[in-house]
């Protein structure tokens, strides 16, 4: 299979969907120029500036405009340049997009895709580095997608665009230039189906977005000391494929959840709660979380590196998990 | 009072009937609320029927209208079914939104009433979106978005003026300036005297009209809609109106001078229109046709209220249905 | 024209502009050798920032944007500590936690750089509100780009400032980019329908003027009036200072496309270069200011070069200081999350 970079896979999915569906429009700052990272490069030439439209720096109105257009027949894709700036569009996203289908008793649909990139890379500091997925998980009516590979980015984006609901499509900036195999034909990937990235027997690691490659590296390292971990990439956080996680945990008895977002209030806590509610008896030890410390992201490269959870943190958490035994005290 | 000249008597009486329908509906809502049959936050538009009816009277069925939190009149003026609307306010399963929306989240998509909103200025950006879709579709559809003077100081309103002007969207900004943002007179919120000045800044054609004059609003909207349909972009209409009641039902409006309340009697858009119709000999001197219209409408609304209150409550399982579109 | 200032003050202003320019030239050079991440430069706007901010007094506040280096330097922030901050060092103004996008120095009256477009406008307005309630005759200056006028927060803020007669000056540095298919300063543009831009403030009944941002004298005089008005409690002023964007100001990765500033062009010792001739002839505010100073007899070429040599040496030291400074210790990562 041909190799594509994550960002190029996104562009290809956008292009193919726009070729197939004339109701798709892209709205965002500098999108006709490709945006800051090139995700939309060339699309304005191909589809014209009425379908790929540069907007002013007016996140609130642009988000609302996309929602309004989605209500009456368009299928808009909004690009918010950094997830940090979605704060400026939260009213339209949370109070309107997420609730209009429900509040209208099903009369309205909001087929909207919100593409945002975020995460840590490059010392961008506290306004350009956050992982905010947990905010959106708390809002009924939103779907939340976090692809970790180029192939998933393309396939999940196609599904997001075709979905009749508002979908937050969370891209990780540090993954943009990573390559991966992408099929000649990009098939949409059904939401709510986790991928088992590596089979294992001793512990389950659920890893989100950039933590997937980190978990796979951790698995290699743990294997050297004879530990076999199963790495699960949920791919979509809402809906969440709890069944695949439960099936794995029932085999391994141990669970570590890894995400780049701040640990407190993150999706790790939610997954831990859901797992223990139905599989408490199958757990050999507590569910452990790997995430960022409870602090904003500092710009200094050393502090940033320290902030970002990675391979070491996952290895450490798996080892701590394995150290527990069911009869109480650490083994 | 301005006149559209060629309008037939019947068309004029239709405007009157539509205003009475809204008035009777709103007064019934107030009554049901006082008696505990309707709950929630209710913002009535009594006194503002002129702008809703005037503006919507010249719209096509496939045009879009969006309202604010005070939107009953706009939905009814666009042709929403009073019974389904009343059922919605009463939280019944037969309501437009199956009891999930209520007063501030009315949607009657079948007649082009896209949505109300509980957020001040919240539906203005949404109106940009329906206008954008209309522009892309190329069928001449226009959008009218109603909002109050309180929205004039909100950021998304300004972002929307800029975008609508830049992209020449087929959109009519219709500001119903009733002089009060919630409990506060406009003068305490801004130095701006006329909200049209905002529009002028963004090179959007604007006009201020007497909002209690249904024909003045109709004429201004007609001009704006013509411009929008022909690709000429947005317009801004500031309709000066009056809210004789509190911000919401139960608000005693103690912040308001009594003299302002007295003014109401002169401003009432319905009384004013009836007087005009008498002068034009559309109504006879005793206005008996108007009384018949009013009586018929009130009777109809009684039946509407009865049917709404007889309608079933939503089933418990609907609580978590329609969170996502399938 | 020259600001009406004494000779010493004029020379000081000249030196400040050079500090602003040489700092960023040094930074761009350093970025060519060392990964310092991306940053935005103020080059080309010195003739606005230096005279405007030079008028502030101790205790006045400035709030700024991602294009902030020049602003902080104009109020005397140590270039060495700024360079260290940009390099993420412990000795930086923000102890390595802010970086170029969040540089601040409270002691110099620059509490916040916001990297979100328009992010500082409500903050600057809030500071002015605080000053007015405290009755301390201090003023707040909101430094902003033309793009921030597209944000709703601008309108919400300026409405309140006008209504409450807050002691604030909105200094909008309009360096609108020709590369985006739009002639400089030409409105309406692809993203702003308002024309003129000053109308966005004038609509609230406050003074709103457009001035030549390359003209230090005009900037000085206009700011002087605005500050006096604010201090007297007469309310806000909006100033649009028009410049064009420096050719080397490539988004994220600036390049020295016009070369380092060569002061000798100002007195024709060196001929105008063939490339970017307009920049050197009329657009570089520092060259213009230098020409005016020499013409008026406030500065000789020798004095200019002497001042410049001192500034260059200072920047060399600043870079070395930054490179020699340690990174923050790991435990610093969790400091300051709460006060």
Query: Has A220 been annotated as catalytic?
Result: no
User: A133, C106 in Cβ contact below 8 A?
Assistant: no
The pTM assigned to this predicted structure is 0.89
| Beta carbon pairs, A and B, within 8 Å | 157
Q: What are phi and psi of A254, to 5 degrees?
A: -135, 140
Q: How far is C234 from chain B (nearest CA, A)?
A: 14
pLDDT of residue B258: 46
pLDDT of residue B7: 52
Q: What subunits touch chain B, counting only 3 or more CB pairs under 8 A? A: A, C
Q: Which residues of B touch C155 (CB under 8 A)?
A: 153, 155, 157-158
Q: Which CATH architecture has domain B25-311?
A: 3-Layer(aba) Sandwich (3.40)
pLDDT of residue B265: 72
Report the residue of C159, C162, C208, C235 to disrupt the B interface, i.e. the one with the largest count of B CBs within 10 Å: C159
Q: Which CATH number does the domain A3-181 belong to among 1.20.1330.10, 3.30.70.330, 1.10.10.10, 3.40.50.970? A: 3.40.50.970
> For residue B201, what pLDDT band results from cuts at 50, 70 and 90?
very high
Edge-to-edge, what's the strand order for the sheet holding A143-145? Answer: A52-54, A24-28, A75-80, A113-118, A167-172, A143-145, A236-238
Burial (CB < 10 A; 0-12, 13-18, 19+), residue B68, is buried
Q: Which residues of A touch B122 (CB under 8 A)?
A: 64, 91-92, 95-96
pLDDT tens digits, B83-108 = 999 999 999 999 999 999 999 999 99
A100/B159 Cβ within 8 A: no
Contacts of C306 (CB under 8 A, 6+ apart): none
Q: How would you label A84-123 residue by residue, b for 16+ Cβ within 10 Å and e otherwise?
A: bbbbbbebbbbbbbbbbbbbbbbbbbbbbbbbbbbbbbbb
pLDDT of residue C284: 93
User: A102, B100 in Cβ contact below 8 A?
Assistant: yes
Measured in Å, how far apart are chain A's first and last C-alpha atoms?
46
C155/B158 Cβ within 8 A: yes
User: C19, C73 in Cβ contact below 8 A?
Assistant: yes
Instruction: Say whether residue B111 is in contact with chain A using an 8 A CB cutoff.
Output: no
pLDDT one digit per residue (tens) for chain A, 331 residues: 789 999 999 999 999 999 999 999 999 988 998 988 999 999 999 999 999 998 888 999 999 999 999 998 899 999 999 999 999 999 999 999 999 999 998 999 999 999 999 999 888 888 889 999 999 999 999 999 999 999 999 999 999 999 999 999 999 999 999 999 999 999 999 999 999 999 999 999 999 999 999 999 999 999 999 999 999 999 999 999 999 999 999 999 999 999 999 999 999 999 999 999 999 999 999 999 999 999 998 888 888 889 999 999 999 999 999 999 776 555 4
Specify the higher pLDDT residue, B188 or A220.
Answer: A220
What whole-number distance in Å separates Cα of residue C295 and Cα of residue C291?
A: 6
Residue ranges covered by each domain of chain C: 7-323
Q: Which residues of A touch B325 (CB under 8 A)?
A: 101, 106, 109-111, 164-165
Distances in Å between the Cα of A184 and the Cα atoms of A11, A151, A187, A193, C172 are: 14, 11, 9, 22, 50
What whole-number distance in Å separates Cα of residue C78 and Cα of residue C103?
A: 12
Q: C216-231 and C285-295 helices cross at what angle (nearest 10)?
A: 100
Q: Which of A59, A79, A260, A304 is catalytic?
A: A59
Distances in Å between the Cα of B164 and the Cα atoms of A4, A92, B130, C129 are: 38, 17, 11, 32
What whole-number distance in Å separates Cα of residue A290 and Cα of residue A205?
A: 10
Return the structure tokens found at A32.
């006709």
Q: Please tell me chain C's helix, strand, coil percentages from 3-state DSSP, rounded to the nearest 5.
A: 50, 10, 40
Q: Which residues of C touch B201 (CB under 8 A)?
A: 194, 199-200, 203
Q: Which CATH number does the domain A195-322 belong to among 3.40.50.920, 3.40.50.300, 3.90.105.10, 3.40.605.10? A: 3.40.50.920
Q: Which residue of B has its CA nearest to C206?
A: B191
A301/C101 Cβ within 8 A: no
Q: Which of A101, A128, A172, A259 is catalytic?
A: A128
How do beta strands B206-210 and C61-64 pair? unpaired
pLDDT averaged over consecutive 10-residue blocks of chain C (339 residues)? Answer: 95 98 97 89 96 96 95 97 96 93 93 87 92 92 94 94 96 71 57 91 97 96 98 97 87 87 96 92 94 96 98 98 96 85
CATH superfamily of C7-323: Thiamin diphosphate (ThDP)-binding fold, Pyr/PP domains (3.40.50.970)
Query: Has A223 been annotated as catalytic?
Result: no
* Closest by CA position to C174, among listed C44, C75, C58, C55: C44
pLDDT of residue B255: 59
pLDDT of residue A41: 96
Q: How far is C333 from chain B (nearest CA, A)?
A: 35
Burial (CB < 10 A; 0-12, 13-18, 19+), residue C31, is middle
B118/A65 Cβ within 8 A: no
For residue B284, the 8-state DSSP code is -
Instruction: Say whether residue B112 is in contact with chain A using an 8 A CB cutoff.
Output: no
B190/C163 Cβ within 8 A: yes
Residue ranges covered by each domain of chain A: 3-181, 195-322
Instruction: Say whether residue B248 is in contact with chain C using an 8 A CB cutoff.
Output: no
pLDDT of residue B120: 87
A299/C115 Cβ within 8 A: no
pLDDT of residue A331: 47
What whole-number distance in Å separates Cα of residue B238 and Cα of residue C326?
A: 62
Instruction: Say whether residue A49 is in contact with chain B using an 8 A CB cutoff.
Output: no
Report the residue of A54, A124, A125, A294 to disrupt the C interface, i.e. the one with the largest count of C CBs within 10 Å: A125
As a whole number, mean pLDDT of residues B302-312 equals 97
DSSP string, B151-210: GGGSHHHHHHHHHHHHTT-SEEEEEEE-SEETTEEGGGT-S-S-THHHHHHTT--EEEEE
Instruction: For residue A196, list its beta bridge partners.
Output: A232
Return the structure tokens found at B269.
């858009």
What whole-number distance in Å separates Cα of residue A267 and Cα of residue A242?
A: 13
Q: What stretches of C87-174 show up as alpha helix (H) in DSSP?
A: 120-134, 152-164
How do beta strands B235-240 and A24-28 pair? unpaired
């Amino acid at each position: 299979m041909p190799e594509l970079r994550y960002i190029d896979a996104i562009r290809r999915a956008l292009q193919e969907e726009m070729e197939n569906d004339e109701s798709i429009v892209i709205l965002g700052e500098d999108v006709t120029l490709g945006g800051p990272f090139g995700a939309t490069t060339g699309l304005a030439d191909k589809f014209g500036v009425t379908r790929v439209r540069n907007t002013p720096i007016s996140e609130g109105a642009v988000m609302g405009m996309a929602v309004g257009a989605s209500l009456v027949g368009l299928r808009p894709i909004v690009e918010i340049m950094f997830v940090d700036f979605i704060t400026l569009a939260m009213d339209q996203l949370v109070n309107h997009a997420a609730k209009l289908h429900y509040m209208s008793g099903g009369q309205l649909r909001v087929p909207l895709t919100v593409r945002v990139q975020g995460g840590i890379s490059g010392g961008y500091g506290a306004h350009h580095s956050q992982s905010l997925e947990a905010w959106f998980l708390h809002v009924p009516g939103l779907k939340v997608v976090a692809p970790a590979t180029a192939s998933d980015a393309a396939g999940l984006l196609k599904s997001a665009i075709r979905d009749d609901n508002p979908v937050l499509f969370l891209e990780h900036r540090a993954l943009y230039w990573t390559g991966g195999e992408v099929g000649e034909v990009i098939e949409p990937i059904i939401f709510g189906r986790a991928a088992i990235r590596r089979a294992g027997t001793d512990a389950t690691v659920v890893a989100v977005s950039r933590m997937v490659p980190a978990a796979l590296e951790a698995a290699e390292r743990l294997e050297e000391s004879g530990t076999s971990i199963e790495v699960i990439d949920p791919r979509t956080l809402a809906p969440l494929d709890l069944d695949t996680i439960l099936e794995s945990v029932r085999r391994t008895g141990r669970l570590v959840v890894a995400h780049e977002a701040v640990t407190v209030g993150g999706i790790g806590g939610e997954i831990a709660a859901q797992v223990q509610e139905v599989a408490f008896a199958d757990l050999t030890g507590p569910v452990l979380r790997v995430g960022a410390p409870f602090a904003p992201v500092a710009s200094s490269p050393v502090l940033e590196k320290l902030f970002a959870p990675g391979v070491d943190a996952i290895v450490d958490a798996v080892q701590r998990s394995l150290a527990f035994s069911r009869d109480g005290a650490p083994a | 009072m301005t006149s559209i000249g060629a309008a037939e008597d019947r068309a004029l009486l239709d405007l009157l009937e539509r205003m009475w329908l809204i008035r009777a509906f709103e007064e019934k809502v107030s009554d049901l609320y006082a008696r505990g049959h309707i709950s929630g936050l209710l913002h009535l538009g009594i006194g503002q029927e002129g702008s809703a009816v005037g503006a919507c009277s010249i719209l096509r069925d496939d045009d879009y209208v969006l309202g604010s939190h005070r939107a009953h009149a706009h939905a009814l003026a666009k042709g929403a079914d009073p019974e389904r609307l009343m059922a919605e306010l009463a939280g019944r399963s037969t309501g437009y939104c199956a009891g999930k929306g209520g007063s501030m989240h009315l949607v009657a998509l079948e007649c082009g009433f896209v949505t109300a909103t509980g957020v001040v200025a919240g539906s203005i950006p949404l109106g940009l979106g329906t206008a954008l879709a209309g522009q892309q579709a190329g069928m001449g559809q226009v959008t009218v978005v109603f909002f109050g003077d309180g929205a004039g100081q909100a950021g998304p309103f300004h972002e929307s003026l800029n975008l609508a002007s830049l992209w020449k969207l087929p959109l009519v900004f219709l500001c119903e300036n009733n002089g009060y943002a919630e409990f506060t007179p406009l003068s305490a919120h801004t130095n701006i005297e006329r909200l049209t000045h905002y529009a002028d800044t963004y090179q959007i054609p604007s006009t201020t009209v007497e909002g209690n004059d249904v024909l003045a609003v109709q004429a201004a909207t007609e001009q704006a809609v013509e411009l929008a349909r022909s690709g000429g972009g947005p317009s801004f209409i500031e309709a000066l109106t009056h809210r004789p009641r509190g911000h919401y039902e139960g608000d005693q409006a103690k912040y308001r001078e009594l003299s302002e309340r007295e003014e109401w009697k002169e401003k009432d858009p319905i009384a004013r229109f009836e007087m005009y119709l008498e002068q034009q000999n559309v109504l006879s001197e005793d206005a008996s046709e108007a009384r018949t219209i009013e009586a018929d409408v009130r009777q109809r609304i009684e039946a509407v209220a009865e049917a709404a209150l007889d309608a079933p409550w939503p089933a418990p399982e609907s609580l978590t249905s329609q969170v996502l579109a399938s | 024209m020259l600001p009406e200032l004494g000779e010493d003050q004029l020379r000081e202003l000249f030196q400040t502009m050079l500090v602003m320019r040489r700092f960023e030239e040094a930074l761009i050079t350093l970025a060519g050798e060392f990964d310092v991440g991306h940053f935005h430069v103020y080059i080309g706007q010195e003739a606005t920032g230096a005279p405007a901010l030079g008028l502030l007094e101790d205790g006045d506040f400035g709030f700024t944007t991602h294009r902030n280096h020049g602003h902080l330097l104009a109020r005397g922030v140590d270039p060495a500590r700024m360079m260290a901050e940009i390099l993420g060092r412990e000795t930086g103004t923000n102890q390595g936690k802010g970086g170029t996008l969040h540089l601040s120095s409270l002691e110099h009256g620059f509490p916040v750089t916001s990297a979100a477009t328009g992010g500082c406008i409500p903050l600057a307005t809030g500071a002015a509100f605080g000053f007015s309630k405290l009755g301390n005759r201090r003023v707040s200056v909101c430094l902003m780009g033309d793009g921030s006028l597209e944000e709703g927060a601008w309108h919400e803020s300026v409405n309140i400032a006008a209504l409450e007669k807050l002691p604030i000056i909105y200094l909008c540095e309009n360096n609108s980019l020709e590369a985006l298919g739009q002639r400089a300063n030409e409105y309406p543009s692809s993203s702003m329908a308002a024309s003129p831009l000053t109308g966005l403030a004038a609509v609230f009944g406050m003074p709103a003027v457009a001035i030549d941002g390359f003209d230090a004298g005009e900037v000085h005089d206009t700011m002087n009036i605005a500050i006096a008005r604010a201090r007297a409690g007469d309310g806000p002023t909006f100033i649009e200072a028009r410049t064009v964007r420096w050719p080397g100001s490539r988004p994220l990765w600036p390049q020295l496309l016009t070369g380092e500033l060569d002061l000798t062009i100002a007195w024709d010792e060196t001929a105008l270069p063939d490339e970017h001739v307009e920049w050197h002839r009329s657009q570089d505010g520092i060259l213009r200011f230098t020409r005016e100073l020499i013409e008026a007899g406030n500065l000789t070429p020798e004095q200019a070069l002497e001042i410049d040599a001192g500034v260059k040496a200072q920047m060399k030291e600043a870079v070395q200081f930054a490179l020699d400074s340690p990174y923050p210790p790991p435990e610093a990562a969790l400091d300051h999350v709460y006060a």
